[in-house]
Amino acid sequence: MLSPSEGLEEYLFTIGILISFVGTLAAAYISRKSIASALKEAGLDKRKLAVAIILVLLFVSIELVFVKPTQQLFFDDSIYQGMAQDLLHMGQAWMCSYGTPTKCFIGEIFHEPIGTSFNLAIAFAIFGVSSNAAYGTGFFLAAVSVIFVFFVALLMSKKFIVAAFAELFMALSPALLIWAEPTTSDMPMLAYSLIAIFFMLIFVRKRNYGTFALALLSLALLSYMKVDAVVYLVLIPVMYVVLSDDNILSSLKNNFMRLRKGLLDTKLLAIFMIFVIAIGPEIGFAYNELTSGSFGYSGAYVQQTCLANLPAIIASRPIDLQNFEANLCSNVAFWTNAYADIDIIQPLAFTVFAAIGVAFMLGYKKFRELLTIALWFFAFFLLYTSFYAGGVLYGVDWRFMLSLVAQTSILGGFGAYGLIEIARVISSGGKR
């Protein structure tokens, strides 16, 4: 997708993400009472919100005291920041190859969408163009991820203990702490995916025009954060179907009826048309990336992690079963903290709590919630394990695990709650 001169394409991306961003903010304002009501019904009050804020401050304190901001992804880190300046000065959503500080004449559409640079451009507009503003953007989005894990877990479980422990595990996640500040597209996708899932859960509980717009436009905004976010365009609607009614069959039936009625509702159709206009440029971009071979590099060497004594394979395609077999053992071993000696860290205790959470949810018949989290986890585990560069041992690409830490943190919250419940039952002589 090379552009030898200034054209329309790079402006369409800018228009699309602006519609998504402004639309999401407007819908959130319109739906503020629905959001507050849904959270209150899930058990949120001022004291519990204060605890959630304290846990965010815990994350912020650890990050500031123990983690040094470090550029870890060459050369994408600098490219994103350069693209942000193009957006800020000219509104062009591309990577400039030839131009002046305020005008680009020859550029190229980058292999990742404009979302990361859009967030940087906002920070640059407010705080000025600097590395501190760039690192601060990632840091802010990481903190947003911590608080939204709390909200998502609270709406899923309606248990404050589940939400608080989920947020604690997220705040202490080494993957989040290490990758909070470098300029990558993984952190924006994590933050905006949690925001979009949260607004989807609000829509499940408060179905009205405002929350419908909020769910759709936040999904459109998420799609601009990373080309991989196209998965969420299918995943979040599936998660909605799983959670929206008493069971999946009734959900399919009821939502089909709602869809039929919606076809005659001009307000719903207008909201959907805005969504289509907002997401259209990104759909075209993702389709081109996934079909043209731009999504990754075919011909790279991939280490065999299950059969380490064998030579590396040569990736025939960016996403392939052969890559999955090569990456599988390392991506499973990551969850046992097998690579802590090379600073690829996932505390074993966190994984154990998540496993306990799975057992608790099965035992307490939280089947739909567990299925939702499982679909969310395995969609990205399978994607990245099948990606030639998706193994945790491939360069610095253990950053892809950021797409999985929220799910395991929420499962860990259920695990901690389950252990507390077991202790309570034992202390009360076996009475629930």
Is 330 in the same domain as 362? Answer: yes
For the chain, 432 residues long, give each residue's pLDDT as a single digit of tens: 434 445 677 789 999 999 999 999 999 999 999 999 999 999 999 999 999 999 999 999 999 999 988 877 777 888 899 899 989 888 888 888 888 767 778 888 888 889 999 999 999 999 999 999 999 999 999 999 999 999 999 999 999 999 999 999 999 999 999 999 998 999 999 999 999 999 999 999 999 999 999 999 999 999 999 999 999 999 999 999 999 988 888 888 988 898 888 888 999 999 999 999 999 999 988 888 777 665 556 678 899 999 878 888 888 888 889 999 999 999 999 999 999 999 999 999 999 999 999 999 999 889 999 999 999 999 999 999 999 999 999 988 899 999 999 999 999 999 999 999 999 988 877 666
Is 277 in the same domain as 400? Answer: no
* Whole-number Å distance between alpha carbons of 30 and 215: 13
* Whole-number Å distance between alpha carbons of 223 and 377: 18
* Whole-number Å distance between alpha carbons of 250 and 273: 27
Is 289 in the same domain as 205? Answer: yes
Is 304 in the same domain as 284? Answer: no
Q: What is the pLDDT of residue 5?
A: 43
- Among 295, 330, 347, identify where a domain stops: 295
Chain centroid to CA 65: 26
Is 150 in the same domain as 204? Answer: yes
- Among 295, 319, 354, identify where a domain stops: 295
Q: Report the residue count for the chain.
A: 432
Range of the domain at 378: 300-432
Q: What is the pLDDT of residue 2?
A: 38
Is 20 in the same domain as 149? Answer: yes
Chain centroid to CA 181: 16
Judge contact between 334 and 344, C-beta under 8 A.
yes
Is 160 in the same domain as 18? Answer: yes
Residue 64, SS3 per DSSP? helix
Q: Which residues contact 366 (CB under 8 A, 6 or more apart)?
A: 157, 360, 414
Is 313 in the same domain as 249? Answer: no
Q: What is the pLDDT of residue 154?
A: 98
Q: Where are the alpha helices (DSSP H) in 67-130?
A: 76-90, 115-127
Task: Report pTM.
Answer: 0.95
Give the chain's domain count.
Answer: 2
* Whole-number Å distance between alpha carbons of 183 and 200: 27
Is 260 in the same domain as 375? Answer: no
Is 410 in the same domain as 266? Answer: no
Is 389 in the same domain as 283? Answer: no
Judge contact between 19 and 274, C-beta under 8 A.
yes
- Among 295, 328, 348, identify where a domain stops: 295
The CA-CA-CA angle for residues 275, 276, 279, to 5°, reads 80
Residue 246, SS3 per DSSP? coil
Q: What is the pLDDT of residue 1?
A: 40
Is 326 in the same domain as 289? Answer: no
* Whole-number Å distance between alpha carbons of 73 and 70: 9
